[in-house]
Amino acid sequence: MLPPLYVLRHGETEWNRADRMQGGLDSPLTPLGRAQALAMGRALAAAGVGPQTHDALCSPQGRARDTAALALGPLGMQAQADSRLREIAMGQWAGLARSEIAARWPGPSDEGLVAFYSRAPEGEGFVALWARVGAVLAEIRRPTVIVTHGMTSRALRALAMGLALDRIGDLPGGQGIVFEIRDGVSRILPVDGLPQRDATANAAT
């Protein structure tokens, strides 16, 4: 059984706002994204998270590192970057708007989240994502905060909850949300004062 985990997605970015896929690319946090990061930090503080009791890891991508610094800095914590927590690579779709993808690579109207990301040309795919986030979880020994990305967060949470790979698409997404996983059960911590952006349909940007 894993120690308790707190999983955060990075705050809103310029490309999130423009509905553009980021994957392994990056764009800056918006003012809302920075405010979301600070609010998530306050939620962690209210939950008793601190450097004496918790470790912290983050994706090395700029939007995750910036979110981690804003959320964890006031708690006296600094996240260690781990390349295995990067976002799923989107291949030829990286940097494109969703509308461009729909025009050039149309899919079925009822296409689900996992099916959409699985068909990204030259993309990483979920088997590779699952393996690398599983390797991270296997090394965790203390309660840990993890700051990462939309699809990477889903894979982490599914594994921590004992779910199979095909359940990734069933889990909620969003920005400005702190997911706590304790004893295989996930709950959302209260985050004060900000709208929480539902990113279910656009998880990897």
Rounded Cα gap, residues 144 and 140, in angstroms = 7
Q: What is the DSSP letter of 60?
A: S
Catalytic residue selected from 12, 87, 124, 180: 87
Catalytic residue selected from 10, 12, 124, 180: 10
For residue 29, give the 3-state DSSP assignment.
Answer: strand
Q: What is the DSSP letter of 94?
A: T
Rounded Cα gap, residues 65 and 45, in angstroms = 18
Sign, Cα dihedral of 4, 23, 32, 38? positive
Catalytic site includes residue 10: yes
Catalytic site includes residue 180: no
Give the residue numbers annotated as catalytic, written as ranges: 10, 87
